[in-house]
Amino acid sequence: MQVAVTFRHMEADEGIKAYVRDKVQKLQKYIENPREVHVVLAVEKFRHIAEITVVGNRGAFNSQGRDNDLYAAIDQMVDKMERQIRERRGKVIRKRAVPSSFKTPFPRSGKAGEGKEEGEPPRLIQRKRTIAKPMSVEEALSQLSLSKKDFLAFINSDSGQMNVVYRSKNGGYGWVEPHPK
């Protein structure tokens, strides 16, 4: 991890740089792979300002500390950054968590149809949500040809109904359009 310390309107001091590096090293346990850290220390009249930008795999983080004492501003900056990183990690963990009521295990052994009672409807194994954009059939076909997916759900701009275009096994394309009886 590269730590760059910039001083604005004040003299560069190795003691302050060492203090900043020690504090920033504590952040490394919260960030998986920090690439670079940039700290800017500035003075405006009687106030000391410490700003930090951390660039890692999960994105960039910014925080700022202001105080009459430079060391207090640095501590405040690091505390804010720590809290920000922990909150974002918590959001990612909550977002990835799937309630156990939606999990349905795949059968481990036997054939797919075994163990089902006659007349029992099939279970929903997985649910995916997608955004269906309004477009013409030609636009949908061009989008599908550019993507690696096997199908594309879209809202037909002519009819206003949900349609699907898909890749057929013979190398062509298919189009599913709802039709009332």
Q: pLDDT value at position 98?
A: 56
**3-state DSSP percent of the chain in helix, strand and coil, to 5:** 30, 30, 45
**Per residue in 20-67, pLDDT tens?**
999 988 888 777 777 889 999 999 988 999 999 988 777 788 999 999
Number of other residues whose CB lies within 10 A of the CB of residue 61 = 21
Distance CA 71, CA 19 (A): 8
Nearest to 122 by CA among 100, 99, 104: 104
Asked if 24 and 59 touch (Cβ cutoff 8 Å), the reply is no
Residue 104 has pLDDT above 70, yes or no: no
Asked if 69 and 15 touch (Cβ cutoff 8 Å), the reply is no
The strand order across the sheet containing 134-135 reads: 134-135, 151-156, 162-167, 173-176
Distance CA 175, CA 168 (A): 10
Distance CA 154, CA 29 (A): 44
State residue 90 phi and psi, 5-degree precision: -65, -40
162 or 31: which carries more pLDDT confidence?
162
C-alpha Rg value of the chain to the nearest Å: 28
Distance CA 100, CA 123 (A): 15
All structural domains of the chain: 2-96 (3.30.160.100), 134-176 (3.30.505.50)
120 or 157: which carries more pLDDT confidence?
157
Task: Give the confidence band of 170 by pLDDT, cuts at 50, 70, 90.
Answer: confident
Whether this prediction's pTM lies above 0.75 is answered by no
52: β partners? 39, 63
Q: pLDDT value at position 48?
A: 94
Task: Give the confidence band of 18 by pLDDT, cuts at 50, 70, 90.
Answer: very high
Mean pLDDT score of the chain: 82
**What is residue 91's DSSP assignment?**
H
163 or 107: which carries more pLDDT confidence?
163
Residue 83 has pLDDT above 80, yes or no: yes
Structure tokens at 85: 């990183």
Q: pLDDT value at position 118?
A: 66
Task: Give the confidence band of 146 by pLDDT, cuts at 50, 70, 90.
Answer: confident
Task: Give the confidence band of 96 by pLDDT, cuts at 50, 70, 90.
Answer: low
Residue 102 has pLDDT above 70, yes or no: no
Alpha carbon 23 to its chain centroid, in Å, reads 27
Alpha carbon 83 to its chain centroid, in Å, reads 18
7 or 110: which carries more pLDDT confidence?
7
Task: Give the confidence band of 110 by pLDDT, cuts at 50, 70, 90.
Answer: very low
Q: What letter represents residue 3's amino acid?
A: V
